[in-house]
Chains A and B, each alone.
Chain A
Protein backbone atom coordinates (compact mmCIF):
# COMPACT_ATOMS: atom_id res chain seq x y z
CA UNK A 1 0.00 0.00 0.00
CA UNK A 2 1.23 3.46 -0.80
CA UNK A 3 2.37 5.37 2.27
CA UNK A 4 3.98 8.42 0.71
CA UNK A 5 3.15 9.50 -2.81
CA UNK A 6 4.82 12.44 -4.50
CA UNK A 7 3.28 13.38 -7.84
CA UNK A 8 4.71 15.71 -10.48
CA UNK A 9 6.48 18.01 -8.07
CA UNK A 10 8.00 21.26 -9.34
CA UNK A 11 9.92 23.04 -6.59
CA UNK A 12 13.00 25.13 -5.87
CA UNK A 13 14.30 28.24 -4.21
CA UNK A 14 12.85 31.55 -5.33
CA UNK A 15 12.79 31.70 -9.12
CA UNK A 16 15.11 28.73 -9.55
CA UNK A 17 13.24 25.52 -10.20
CA UNK A 18 15.30 22.57 -9.05
CA UNK A 19 12.83 19.70 -9.18
CA UNK A 20 11.19 19.26 -12.59
CA UNK A 21 8.11 17.11 -12.46
CA UNK A 22 9.40 14.51 -10.04
CA UNK A 23 7.20 11.65 -8.90
CA UNK A 24 8.30 9.13 -6.30
CA UNK A 25 6.53 6.76 -3.97
CA UNK A 26 7.24 4.88 -0.76
CA UNK A 27 5.15 1.85 0.14
CA UNK A 28 4.57 0.76 3.71
CA UNK A 29 7.63 -0.81 5.39
CA UNK A 30 9.78 -0.13 2.34
CA UNK A 31 13.31 1.26 2.14
CA UNK A 32 13.54 3.55 -0.89
CA UNK A 33 16.75 5.28 -1.85
CA UNK A 34 17.22 8.40 -3.92
CA UNK A 35 20.59 8.53 -5.60
CA UNK A 36 22.20 10.82 -8.14
CA UNK A 37 25.01 13.31 -8.59
CA UNK A 38 25.49 16.44 -6.51
CA UNK A 39 22.95 19.11 -7.29
CA UNK A 40 20.44 16.64 -8.69
CA UNK A 41 17.81 17.90 -6.25
CA UNK A 42 17.82 14.99 -3.80
CA UNK A 43 17.85 17.11 -0.65
CA UNK A 44 15.42 19.56 -2.22
CA UNK A 45 13.02 16.65 -2.74
CA UNK A 46 13.13 15.71 0.96
CA UNK A 47 12.71 19.34 2.03
CA UNK A 48 9.71 19.72 -0.26
CA UNK A 49 8.08 16.54 1.06
CA UNK A 50 8.56 17.76 4.62
CA UNK A 51 7.08 21.21 4.04
CA UNK A 52 10.32 23.19 4.35
CA UNK A 53 9.80 24.24 0.75
CA UNK A 54 6.42 24.83 -0.85
CA UNK A 55 6.16 23.22 -4.27
CA UNK A 56 5.03 25.36 -7.19
CA UNK A 57 3.13 22.45 -8.65
CA UNK A 58 2.36 18.87 -7.81
CA UNK A 59 1.14 17.06 -4.75
CA UNK A 60 2.48 15.19 -1.75
CA UNK A 61 0.20 12.63 -0.19
CA UNK A 62 0.89 10.81 3.07
CA UNK A 63 -1.38 7.95 4.14
CA UNK A 64 -3.74 9.00 1.34
CA UNK A 65 -4.08 12.51 2.73
CA UNK A 66 -2.91 15.65 0.99
CA UNK A 67 -0.01 17.24 2.92
CA UNK A 68 1.24 19.62 0.21
CA UNK A 69 2.03 23.02 1.70
CA UNK A 70 1.58 21.96 5.33
CA UNK A 71 4.20 23.29 7.75
CA UNK A 72 6.83 20.87 9.12
CA UNK A 73 5.35 20.84 12.62
CA UNK A 74 1.99 19.71 11.17
CA UNK A 75 3.61 17.06 9.02
CA UNK A 76 5.62 15.64 11.91
CA UNK A 77 2.43 15.20 13.92
CA UNK A 78 0.99 13.07 11.11
CA UNK A 79 3.68 10.47 11.57
CA UNK A 80 6.57 11.41 9.34
CA UNK A 81 10.08 12.07 10.61
CA UNK A 82 12.93 13.91 8.93
CA UNK A 83 16.64 13.87 9.70
CA UNK A 84 18.47 16.64 7.83
CA UNK A 85 22.01 16.09 6.62
CA UNK A 86 23.65 18.80 8.71
CA UNK A 87 22.64 20.62 11.87
CA UNK A 88 20.34 17.77 12.77
CA UNK A 89 20.84 17.92 16.55
CA UNK A 90 20.50 20.58 19.25
CA UNK A 91 24.18 21.02 20.20
CA UNK A 92 23.73 22.79 23.55
CA UNK A 93 21.25 20.19 24.78
CA UNK A 94 22.25 16.84 26.25
CA UNK A 95 21.63 13.55 24.46
CA UNK A 96 18.69 12.92 26.77
CA UNK A 97 17.21 16.37 26.19
CA UNK A 98 17.56 15.96 22.42
CA UNK A 99 15.53 12.78 22.59
CA UNK A 100 12.98 14.43 24.89
CA UNK A 101 12.55 17.23 22.35
CA UNK A 102 11.74 14.54 19.79
CA UNK A 103 8.73 13.71 21.95
CA UNK A 104 7.72 17.37 22.35
CA UNK A 105 4.25 16.93 20.87
CA UNK A 106 3.56 13.57 22.56
CA UNK A 107 0.90 13.85 25.22
CA UNK A 108 1.32 10.30 26.55
CA UNK A 109 4.09 8.71 28.61
CA UNK A 110 7.05 8.28 26.32
CA UNK A 111 9.45 6.54 28.68
CA UNK A 112 9.02 3.14 26.97
CA UNK A 113 9.92 4.73 23.63
CA UNK A 114 12.97 6.33 25.23
CA UNK A 115 14.08 2.95 26.60
CA UNK A 116 13.56 1.45 23.16
CA UNK A 117 15.81 4.05 21.53
CA UNK A 118 18.49 3.60 24.18
CA UNK A 119 18.46 -0.14 23.53
CA UNK A 120 18.72 0.52 19.79
CA UNK A 121 21.66 2.87 20.39
CA UNK A 122 23.29 1.63 23.63
CA UNK A 123 26.17 4.07 23.11
CA UNK A 124 23.75 6.94 23.77
CA UNK A 125 22.57 5.57 27.11
CA UNK A 126 26.03 5.70 28.68
CA UNK A 127 26.51 9.32 27.70
CA UNK A 128 22.98 10.64 28.02
CA UNK A 129 23.90 13.68 30.15
CA UNK A 130 26.60 14.86 27.75
CA UNK A 131 26.03 17.86 25.51
CA UNK A 132 25.56 16.76 21.92
CA UNK A 133 27.80 19.54 20.61
CA UNK A 134 30.79 17.66 21.97
CA UNK A 135 29.95 14.33 20.30
CA UNK A 136 31.47 12.81 17.19
CA UNK A 137 29.64 12.77 13.86
CA UNK A 138 28.50 9.17 14.25
CA UNK A 139 27.06 9.75 17.71
CA UNK A 140 25.30 12.88 16.48
CA UNK A 141 23.74 10.91 13.66
CA UNK A 142 22.42 8.39 16.19
CA UNK A 143 21.01 11.19 18.34
CA UNK A 144 19.36 12.73 15.27
CA UNK A 145 17.79 9.42 14.25
CA UNK A 146 16.74 8.68 17.81
CA UNK A 147 15.13 12.11 18.07
CA UNK A 148 13.13 11.53 14.88
CA UNK A 149 12.00 8.10 16.12
CA UNK A 150 10.54 9.43 19.38
CA UNK A 151 7.17 10.06 17.73
CA UNK A 152 6.83 6.51 16.35
CA UNK A 153 6.86 7.73 12.76
CA UNK A 154 5.46 5.56 9.99
CA UNK A 155 8.00 6.99 7.58
CA UNK A 156 11.43 8.46 8.08
CA UNK A 157 13.24 10.73 5.61
CA UNK A 158 17.02 10.49 5.98
CA UNK A 159 19.28 12.98 4.20
CA UNK A 160 22.77 11.51 3.75
CA UNK A 161 22.88 9.68 7.07
CA UNK A 162 26.44 8.46 6.50
CA UNK A 163 27.97 11.59 4.95
CA UNK A 164 31.44 12.28 6.32
CA UNK A 165 31.39 9.34 8.74
CA UNK A 166 34.29 6.97 9.28
CA UNK A 167 33.90 3.77 7.18
CA UNK A 168 33.40 1.63 10.28
CA UNK A 169 30.51 3.84 11.42
CA UNK A 170 28.90 3.81 7.98
CA UNK A 171 28.29 0.08 8.47
CA UNK A 172 26.89 0.64 11.94
CA UNK A 173 24.45 3.29 10.71
CA UNK A 174 23.25 1.08 7.85
CA UNK A 175 22.68 -1.78 10.31
CA UNK A 176 20.64 0.54 12.51
CA UNK A 177 18.61 1.69 9.51
CA UNK A 178 17.72 -1.93 8.73
CA UNK A 179 16.92 -2.58 12.37
CA UNK A 180 14.59 0.43 12.51
CA UNK A 181 13.01 -0.66 9.23
CA UNK A 182 12.27 -4.13 10.65
CA UNK A 183 10.08 -2.47 13.33
CA UNK A 184 7.81 -1.30 10.50
CA UNK A 185 9.20 2.16 9.73
CA UNK A 186 9.37 2.96 6.03
CA UNK A 187 12.40 4.94 4.91
CA UNK A 188 13.33 7.31 2.15
CA UNK A 189 17.10 7.72 2.07
CA UNK A 190 19.15 10.21 0.09
CA UNK A 191 22.72 8.97 -0.10
CA UNK A 192 26.15 9.54 -1.57
CA UNK A 193 27.16 6.03 -0.53
CA UNK A 194 24.84 4.90 -3.32
CA UNK A 195 26.10 1.33 -3.63
CA UNK A 196 25.75 0.58 0.08
CA UNK A 197 22.32 2.16 0.22
CA UNK A 198 20.98 0.29 -2.79
CA UNK A 199 22.06 -2.99 -1.15
CA UNK A 200 19.57 -2.44 1.67
CA UNK A 201 16.90 -0.75 -0.45
CA UNK A 202 13.76 -2.35 -1.78
CA UNK A 203 13.60 0.21 -4.54
CA UNK A 204 15.57 3.17 -5.75
CA UNK A 205 15.19 6.28 -7.86
CA UNK A 206 17.94 8.04 -9.76
CA UNK A 207 17.66 11.82 -9.98
CA UNK A 208 19.75 13.94 -12.32
CA UNK A 209 19.35 17.64 -13.09
CA UNK A 210 16.13 17.72 -11.12
CA UNK A 211 14.52 14.93 -13.12
CA UNK A 212 13.83 11.32 -12.36
CA UNK A 213 15.93 9.35 -14.84
CA UNK A 214 15.58 5.79 -13.54
CA UNK A 215 13.55 3.77 -11.13
CA UNK A 216 13.82 0.10 -10.29
CA UNK A 217 14.40 -2.31 -7.44
CA UNK A 218 17.59 -1.78 -5.47
CA UNK A 219 19.06 -4.98 -6.81
CA UNK A 220 18.30 -4.18 -10.43
CA UNK A 221 19.78 -0.69 -10.13
CA UNK A 222 22.96 -2.21 -8.70
CA UNK A 223 23.22 -4.62 -11.66
CA UNK A 224 22.41 -1.99 -14.28
CA UNK A 225 25.70 -1.28 -16.06
CA UNK A 226 24.74 2.16 -17.32
CA UNK A 227 23.77 3.32 -13.84
CA UNK A 228 26.90 1.77 -12.41
CA UNK A 229 29.02 3.76 -14.83
CA UNK A 230 27.12 7.03 -14.56
CA UNK A 231 26.12 7.21 -10.92
CA UNK A 232 27.86 4.56 -8.87
CA UNK A 233 31.42 5.39 -9.84
CA UNK A 234 32.04 2.50 -12.28
Chain B
Protein backbone atom coordinates (compact mmCIF):
# COMPACT_ATOMS: atom_id res chain seq x y z
CA UNK B 1 0.00 0.00 0.00
CA UNK B 2 2.73 2.43 1.00
CA UNK B 3 4.45 1.69 -2.28
CA UNK B 4 1.28 2.34 -4.28
CA UNK B 5 0.94 5.60 -2.39
CA UNK B 6 4.42 6.66 -3.48
CA UNK B 7 3.68 5.67 -7.09
CA UNK B 8 0.48 7.68 -6.77
CA UNK B 9 2.49 10.74 -5.78
CA UNK B 10 4.68 10.24 -8.86
CA UNK B 11 1.65 9.89 -11.15
CA UNK B 12 -0.09 12.77 -9.37
CA UNK B 13 2.84 15.11 -9.86
CA UNK B 14 2.82 14.34 -13.60
CA UNK B 15 -0.94 14.98 -13.71
CA UNK B 16 -0.31 18.23 -11.82
CA UNK B 17 1.82 19.62 -14.65
CA UNK B 18 -1.08 19.09 -17.03
CA UNK B 19 -3.86 20.22 -14.73
CA UNK B 20 -2.08 23.44 -13.79
CA UNK B 21 -1.88 24.44 -17.45
CA UNK B 22 -5.49 23.43 -17.98
CA UNK B 23 -6.66 25.47 -15.01
CA UNK B 24 -4.62 28.55 -15.99
CA UNK B 25 -6.10 28.52 -19.49
CA UNK B 26 -9.57 27.99 -18.09
CA UNK B 27 -9.08 30.78 -15.58
CA UNK B 28 -8.40 33.32 -18.30
CA UNK B 29 -10.38 32.07 -21.30
CA UNK B 30 -13.19 30.19 -19.50
CA UNK B 31 -12.93 27.34 -21.91
CA UNK B 32 -12.27 23.64 -21.40
CA UNK B 33 -9.34 22.62 -23.54
CA UNK B 34 -9.88 18.97 -24.40
CA UNK B 35 -6.58 18.94 -26.28
CA UNK B 36 -4.50 19.72 -23.22
CA UNK B 37 -3.56 16.08 -22.63
CA UNK B 38 -2.43 15.87 -26.24
CA UNK B 39 -0.06 18.78 -25.71
CA UNK B 40 1.57 16.43 -23.18
CA UNK B 41 1.73 13.73 -25.87
CA UNK B 42 3.23 16.16 -28.36
CA UNK B 43 5.83 17.26 -25.81
CA UNK B 44 6.81 13.67 -25.10
CA UNK B 45 7.21 12.85 -28.81
CA UNK B 46 9.16 16.00 -29.60
CA UNK B 47 11.60 14.91 -26.88
CA UNK B 48 11.66 11.41 -28.41
CA UNK B 49 12.59 12.86 -31.79
CA UNK B 50 15.36 14.91 -30.17
CA UNK B 51 16.77 12.08 -28.05
CA UNK B 52 16.62 9.26 -30.59
CA UNK B 53 17.12 11.17 -33.84
CA UNK B 54 18.42 14.73 -33.87
CA UNK B 55 20.80 14.53 -30.91
CA UNK B 56 22.19 11.18 -32.04
CA UNK B 57 22.81 12.71 -35.46
CA UNK B 58 24.50 15.65 -33.74
CA UNK B 59 26.64 13.19 -31.81
CA UNK B 60 25.60 14.15 -28.30
CA UNK B 61 26.44 11.39 -25.84
CA UNK B 62 23.59 9.37 -24.42
CA UNK B 63 25.43 8.00 -21.37
CA UNK B 64 23.17 7.72 -18.37
CA UNK B 65 23.56 10.36 -15.72
CA UNK B 66 24.33 8.60 -12.46
CA UNK B 67 21.62 6.12 -11.51
CA UNK B 68 19.07 7.68 -13.89
CA UNK B 69 17.97 6.09 -17.14
CA UNK B 70 18.48 9.34 -19.02
CA UNK B 71 21.46 11.30 -20.21
CA UNK B 72 22.52 14.70 -21.51
CA UNK B 73 20.34 14.25 -24.59
CA UNK B 74 17.27 14.30 -22.35
CA UNK B 75 18.57 17.27 -20.38
CA UNK B 76 18.73 19.30 -23.61
CA UNK B 77 15.47 17.83 -24.87
CA UNK B 78 13.51 19.29 -21.97
CA UNK B 79 13.86 23.01 -22.79
CA UNK B 80 13.56 22.50 -26.55
CA UNK B 81 10.38 20.45 -26.20
CA UNK B 82 8.97 22.98 -23.73
CA UNK B 83 9.56 25.86 -26.14
CA UNK B 84 8.16 23.87 -29.08
CA UNK B 85 4.94 23.00 -27.25
CA UNK B 86 4.62 26.54 -25.88
CA UNK B 87 4.81 27.87 -29.44
CA UNK B 88 2.41 25.18 -30.65
CA UNK B 89 -0.11 26.14 -27.96
CA UNK B 90 0.17 29.85 -28.80
CA UNK B 91 -0.20 29.09 -32.52
CA UNK B 92 -3.26 26.90 -31.96
CA UNK B 93 -4.87 29.73 -30.05
CA UNK B 94 -3.97 32.21 -32.76
CA UNK B 95 -5.26 30.24 -35.74
CA UNK B 96 -8.19 28.43 -34.10
CA UNK B 97 -9.48 29.59 -30.72
CA UNK B 98 -8.95 33.34 -31.08
CA UNK B 99 -11.04 33.60 -34.29
CA UNK B 100 -13.78 31.62 -32.53
CA UNK B 101 -13.65 33.96 -29.53
CA UNK B 102 -13.85 36.96 -31.86
CA UNK B 103 -17.05 35.51 -33.30
CA UNK B 104 -18.30 35.15 -29.74
CA UNK B 105 -18.71 31.40 -30.17
CA UNK B 106 -20.16 29.57 -27.20
CA UNK B 107 -18.08 27.61 -24.71
CA UNK B 108 -19.37 24.39 -26.23
CA UNK B 109 -18.14 25.36 -29.71
CA UNK B 110 -14.68 26.13 -28.32
CA UNK B 111 -14.62 22.86 -26.39
CA UNK B 112 -15.60 20.94 -29.56
CA UNK B 113 -12.87 22.73 -31.52
CA UNK B 114 -10.35 21.60 -28.93
CA UNK B 115 -11.70 18.06 -29.16
CA UNK B 116 -10.98 18.19 -32.89
CA UNK B 117 -7.50 19.51 -32.17
CA UNK B 118 -6.96 16.60 -29.81
CA UNK B 119 -7.75 14.06 -32.56
CA UNK B 120 -5.55 15.90 -35.04
CA UNK B 121 -2.56 15.83 -32.68
CA UNK B 122 -3.12 12.12 -31.96
CA UNK B 123 -3.32 11.33 -35.67
CA UNK B 124 -0.18 13.29 -36.50
CA UNK B 125 1.71 11.41 -33.78
CA UNK B 126 0.28 8.14 -35.08
CA UNK B 127 1.37 8.91 -38.64
CA UNK B 128 4.89 9.97 -37.65
CA UNK B 129 5.69 7.40 -34.98
CA UNK B 130 3.11 4.62 -35.39
CA UNK B 131 0.82 3.19 -32.76
CA UNK B 132 3.31 1.08 -30.80
CA UNK B 133 4.43 1.93 -27.32
CA UNK B 134 7.87 3.49 -27.42
CA UNK B 135 10.58 4.22 -24.86
CA UNK B 136 13.22 6.91 -24.62
CA UNK B 137 15.72 4.23 -23.78
CA UNK B 138 14.56 0.73 -24.52
CA UNK B 139 15.56 -2.29 -22.53
CA UNK B 140 17.07 -1.17 -19.30
CA UNK B 141 15.02 -0.63 -16.18
CA UNK B 142 17.18 0.74 -13.43
CA UNK B 143 17.13 -1.21 -10.16
CA UNK B 144 14.81 0.19 -7.55
CA UNK B 145 16.07 1.74 -4.35
CA UNK B 146 14.80 0.14 -1.16
CA UNK B 147 13.38 2.66 1.27
CA UNK B 148 11.90 1.92 4.67
CA UNK B 149 8.42 0.34 4.95
CA UNK B 150 9.41 -1.86 2.01
CA UNK B 151 8.86 0.98 -0.45
CA UNK B 152 10.75 0.48 -3.68
CA UNK B 153 11.31 3.53 -5.84
CA UNK B 154 13.35 3.96 -8.98
CA UNK B 155 15.85 6.84 -9.19
CA UNK B 156 13.89 8.06 -12.24
CA UNK B 157 10.82 8.50 -10.07
CA UNK B 158 12.72 10.59 -7.54
CA UNK B 159 13.96 12.66 -10.49
CA UNK B 160 10.36 13.08 -11.70
CA UNK B 161 9.16 14.35 -8.32
CA UNK B 162 12.09 16.77 -8.12
CA UNK B 163 11.48 18.14 -11.62
CA UNK B 164 7.80 18.69 -10.81
CA UNK B 165 8.62 20.37 -7.51
CA UNK B 166 11.08 22.65 -9.25
CA UNK B 167 8.68 23.53 -12.10
CA UNK B 168 5.80 24.32 -9.77
CA UNK B 169 7.99 26.36 -7.43
CA UNK B 170 9.32 28.34 -10.41
CA UNK B 171 5.77 28.94 -11.64
CA UNK B 172 4.68 29.99 -8.15
CA UNK B 173 7.42 32.62 -7.96
CA UNK B 174 6.64 33.78 -11.48
CA UNK B 175 2.95 34.28 -10.70
CA UNK B 176 3.57 35.84 -7.32
CA UNK B 177 6.44 38.24 -7.93
CA UNK B 178 6.80 39.15 -11.59
CA UNK B 179 4.82 41.87 -13.30
CA UNK B 180 3.62 39.49 -15.99
CA UNK B 181 2.65 36.86 -13.42
CA UNK B 182 0.61 39.34 -11.42
CA UNK B 183 -1.05 40.56 -14.60
CA UNK B 184 -1.92 36.95 -15.44
CA UNK B 185 -3.64 36.55 -12.08
CA UNK B 186 -5.39 39.88 -12.52
CA UNK B 187 -6.66 38.87 -15.96
CA UNK B 188 -7.90 35.54 -14.59
CA UNK B 189 -9.77 37.47 -11.87
CA UNK B 190 -11.51 39.83 -14.26
CA UNK B 191 -10.49 40.16 -17.93
CA UNK B 192 -12.59 43.28 -18.55
CA UNK B 193 -11.16 45.12 -15.57
CA UNK B 194 -7.68 44.08 -16.75
CA UNK B 195 -8.34 45.82 -20.08
CA UNK B 196 -9.71 48.88 -18.30
CA UNK B 197 -6.51 48.94 -16.27
CA UNK B 198 -4.44 49.01 -19.45
CA UNK B 199 -3.21 45.41 -19.35
CA UNK B 200 -2.71 44.04 -22.85
CA UNK B 201 -4.87 40.94 -22.34
CA UNK B 202 -3.95 39.53 -25.75
CA UNK B 203 -0.36 39.22 -24.60
CA UNK B 204 -1.47 37.71 -21.29
CA UNK B 205 -3.41 35.05 -23.18
CA UNK B 206 -0.27 34.19 -25.18
CA UNK B 207 1.78 33.90 -21.99
CA UNK B 208 -0.86 31.66 -20.45
CA UNK B 209 -0.90 29.30 -23.41
CA UNK B 210 2.89 29.34 -23.52
CA UNK B 211 3.26 28.45 -19.86
CA UNK B 212 0.47 25.88 -20.03
CA UNK B 213 2.10 24.29 -23.10
CA UNK B 214 5.57 24.23 -21.53
CA UNK B 215 4.25 22.62 -18.33
CA UNK B 216 2.34 20.05 -20.39
CA UNK B 217 5.52 19.22 -22.32
CA UNK B 218 7.40 18.54 -19.07
CA UNK B 219 4.53 16.35 -17.86
CA UNK B 220 4.47 14.37 -21.10
CA UNK B 221 8.23 13.76 -21.09
CA UNK B 222 8.16 12.69 -17.44
CA UNK B 223 5.38 10.21 -18.14
CA UNK B 224 7.43 8.90 -21.05
CA UNK B 225 10.40 8.42 -18.72
CA UNK B 226 8.30 6.78 -16.01
CA UNK B 227 6.14 4.53 -18.17
CA UNK B 228 6.16 4.74 -21.97
CA UNK B 229 5.14 6.84 -24.96
CA UNK B 230 1.94 6.13 -26.82
CA UNK B 231 -0.13 8.30 -29.21
CA UNK B 232 -3.11 8.00 -26.84
CA UNK B 233 -1.19 8.77 -23.65
CA UNK B 234 -2.42 12.35 -23.36
CA UNK B 235 -5.96 11.35 -24.20
CA UNK B 236 -5.77 8.90 -21.31
CA UNK B 237 -4.77 11.81 -19.07
CA UNK B 238 -7.83 13.84 -20.01
CA UNK B 239 -10.15 12.51 -17.30
CA UNK B 240 -7.62 12.73 -14.46
CA UNK B 241 -6.65 16.23 -15.68
CA UNK B 242 -10.22 17.47 -15.60
CA UNK B 243 -11.03 15.66 -12.38
CA UNK B 244 -7.98 17.24 -10.71
CA UNK B 245 -8.84 20.68 -12.08
CA UNK B 246 -12.46 20.50 -10.94
CA UNK B 247 -11.50 19.00 -7.60
CA UNK B 248 -9.14 21.91 -6.94
CA UNK B 249 -11.58 24.57 -8.05
CA UNK B 250 -11.41 25.68 -11.65
CA UNK B 251 -8.86 28.41 -12.24
CA UNK B 252 -7.03 27.73 -9.00
CA UNK B 253 -3.44 26.63 -9.64
CA UNK B 254 -2.72 25.38 -6.13
CA UNK B 255 -6.06 23.59 -6.07
CA UNK B 256 -5.10 21.86 -9.32
CA UNK B 257 -1.84 20.71 -7.75
CA UNK B 258 -3.59 19.19 -4.73
CA UNK B 259 -6.34 17.77 -6.94
CA UNK B 260 -3.72 16.12 -9.15
CA UNK B 261 -1.93 14.51 -6.22
CA UNK B 262 -5.25 13.17 -4.90
CA UNK B 263 -6.12 11.80 -8.35
CA UNK B 264 -2.71 10.17 -8.72
CA UNK B 265 -2.85 8.48 -5.33
CA UNK B 266 -6.47 7.32 -5.67
CA UNK B 267 -5.83 5.92 -9.14
CA UNK B 268 -2.77 3.97 -8.02
CA UNK B 269 -4.37 2.72 -4.79
CA UNK B 270 -7.31 1.44 -6.84
CA UNK B 271 -4.97 -1.00 -8.58
CA UNK B 272 -4.66 -2.89 -5.29
CA UNK B 273 -8.29 -3.93 -5.66
CA UNK B 274 -9.10 -3.52 -9.35
CA UNK B 275 -7.44 -4.18 -12.67
CA UNK B 276 -5.14 -1.29 -13.67
CA UNK B 277 -7.30 -0.77 -16.76
CA UNK B 278 -10.00 0.62 -14.47
CA UNK B 279 -7.80 3.56 -13.45
CA UNK B 280 -9.60 5.87 -15.88
CA UNK B 281 -12.96 4.72 -14.60
CA UNK B 282 -11.85 5.71 -11.11
CA UNK B 283 -10.96 9.19 -12.39
CA UNK B 284 -14.35 9.39 -14.05
CA UNK B 285 -16.20 8.34 -10.90
CA UNK B 286 -14.35 10.92 -8.83
CA UNK B 287 -15.14 13.59 -11.41
CA UNK B 288 -18.85 12.73 -11.35
CA UNK B 289 -18.88 12.76 -7.55
CA UNK B 290 -17.24 16.19 -7.46
CA UNK B 291 -19.65 17.52 -10.04
CA UNK B 292 -22.57 16.25 -7.97
CA UNK B 293 -21.21 17.79 -4.80
CA UNK B 294 -20.11 20.99 -6.56
CA UNK B 295 -23.14 21.73 -8.70
CA UNK B 296 -21.62 24.79 -10.40
CA UNK B 297 -19.84 22.20 -12.54
CA UNK B 298 -17.23 22.65 -15.16
CA UNK B 299 -18.61 25.40 -17.35
CA UNK B 300 -20.04 27.36 -14.44
CA UNK B 301 -16.71 28.18 -12.90
CA UNK B 302 -16.09 31.81 -12.15
CA UNK B 303 -17.61 34.44 -14.38
**Interface-forming stretch among A60-68, A99-107, A160-168, A193-201?**
A99-107
Assess A87 versus B193: contact at CB under 8 Å? Given A73-B199, A77-B198, A105-B198.
yes
A93 touches B182 (CB 8 A): yes
Q: Is A227 interfacial (CB-CB < 8 Å)? A: no
B198 to chain A, nearest CB (A): 4
Chain A-chain B contacts (Cβ-Cβ < 8 Å), number: 62
Q: Which of A52, A92, A101 contacts B197 (CB 8 A)?
A: A101
Bound-complex Cα distance A73 to B193 (A): 10
- Cα distance A88–B193 when bound, in Å? 7
B167 at the interface (CB under 8 A from A): no
In the complex the two chains form, what is the Cα distance from A90 to B196 in whole Å?
12
Chain A contacts for B190, CB-based, 8 A: 87, 90-91
- Contact across chains for B197 and A76 when beta carbons are under 8 A apart: yes
Which B-chain residue is minimally distant from A76 (CB atoms)?
B198
Q: Is the CB of A50 within 8 A of B196?
A: yes
Q: Does B198 contact A90, Cβ atoms closer than 8 Å?
A: no
With a CB–CB cut-off of 8 A, which chain A residues contact B189? 90-93
Q: Which of B109-161 contact A (CB under 8 A)?
A: none
* Separation of A90 and B185 alpha carbons in the complex (Å): 8
Judge whether B182 and A82 touch: CB under 8 Å. no
Residue with the highest number of chain A CB atoms closer than 10 Å, among B190, B194, B198? B198
On whether A100 and B182 interact (CB within 8 A), knowing A52-B192, A72-B195, A105-B198, the answer reads yes
| Contact code string B190-220 (vs A, CB < 8 Å = 1, else 0) | 1011111111110000000000000000000
A50 to B179, CA, bound (A): 24
- Whether A104 contacts B199 in the complex (CB less than 8 A), given A52-B192, A87-B190, A87-B193, comes out as yes
Q: How far is the CA of A91 from the CA of B186 in the complex (A)?
A: 8
Question: Contacts A90-B190, A92-B189, A104-B183 hold; do A151 and B196 have CB atoms under 8 A apart?
Answer: no
Distance, CA A147 to CA B185, complexed state (A): 16
The interface centre, meaning the residue of B194, B195, B197 with most chain A CB atoms within 10 A of its CB, is B197
Give the residues from 142 to 163 in chain A that come closer than 8 angstroms, CB to CB, to chain B: 147, 151
Q: A2 within 8 Å of B by Cβ? A: no
**Chain B minimum-CB-distance residue to A94:** B182
Q: Output the least CB separation between A195 and chain B (Å).
A: 28
- B195 proximity list for chain A (CB < 8 A): 71-73
Using C-beta atoms within 8 Å of the partner chain, give the interface range for chain A: 20 to 34
- A219: Cβ under 8 A from any B Cβ: no
| Interface presence of A69 (CB below 8 A) | no
Report 10 cross-chain contacts, Cβ distance below 8 Å, ordered by A residue: A72-B196, A73-B198, A87-B193, A89-B193, A90-B185, A93-B182, A101-B199, A104-B183, A105-B198, A151-B198
Binding site for B on A (CB under 8 A): 50, 52, 71-73, 76-77, 82, 84, 87-93, 97-98, 100-102, 104-105, 147, 151
- B7 to A: closest C-beta gap in Å: 34
Return the chain A residue nearest B199 by Cβ.
Answer: A104
**Shortest Cβ distance from residue B177 to the other chain A in the assembled complex, whole angstroms:** 10
Q: Specify the chain B residue showing the minimal Cβ separation from A157.
A: B196
A91 to B179, CA, bound (A): 17
Question: Are the CB atoms of A73 and B200 closer together than 8 Å?
Answer: yes
In whole angstroms, what is the CA distance A93 to B188 when docked?
Answer: 11
Q: How far is the CB of A72 from chain B (nearest CB, A)?
A: 5
B241 → chain A closest CB, angstroms: 22
Question: Given A91, A97, A104, which contacts B198 in the complex, CB threshold below 8 Å?
Answer: A104
| B193 neighbours in A (Cβ, 8 Å) | 84, 87-90
The 9 A-B residue pairs with the shortest CB-CB distance in the complex, in nearest-first order = A76-B198, A90-B189, A105-B198, A90-B186, A72-B195, A101-B186, A72-B196, A73-B198, A104-B199
Complex contacts, A87 vs chain B, CB 8 Å? 190, 192-193
Across-interface contacts of A72 in B (CB, < 8 A): 195-196, 198
Bound Cα distance from A104 to B183, whole angstroms: 8
Instruction: Give the CA-CA distance A100 to B195 in the complex, in Å.
Output: 14
Kindly provide the distance from the CB of A44 to the nearest chain B CB, expressed in whole angstroms: 15
Can you name the residue of chain A whose Cβ is closest to the Cβ of B201? A73
Q: Roughly how many angstroms separate A92 CA and B186 CA in the complex, as a whole number? A: 8
Q: Is the CB of A76 within 8 A of B196?
A: yes
Query: Which residue of chain A lies nearest to B197 when distances are taken between CB atoms in the complex?
Result: A101
Distance A98 CA – B183 CA, assembled complex (angstroms)? 10
Starting from the known contacts A82-B196, A87-B192, A97-B186, 19 additional A-B residue pairs (CB-CB under 8 Å) come to A50-B196, A73-B195, A76-B196, A77-B198, A84-B196, A87-B193, A89-B193, A90-B186, A90-B194, A92-B188, A93-B186, A93-B189, A98-B186, A101-B186, A101-B194, A102-B197, A104-B198, A105-B198, A147-B197
Give the interface centre of B189, B200, B201 by most chain A CB atoms within 10 Å. B189
CB distance from B172 to the nearest CB of A (A): 14
Q: Which residues of the partner chain B approach A147 to less than 8 Å between Cβ atoms?
A: 197
Chain B residues within 8 Å of A90, by CB? 185-186, 189-190, 193-194
Report the minimum CB–CB distance from B213 to chain A (whole Å). 23
Roughly how many angstroms separate A77 CA and B200 CA in the complex, as a whole number? 11
Residue of A50, A73, A76 contacting most chain B CB atoms (<10 Å) = A73
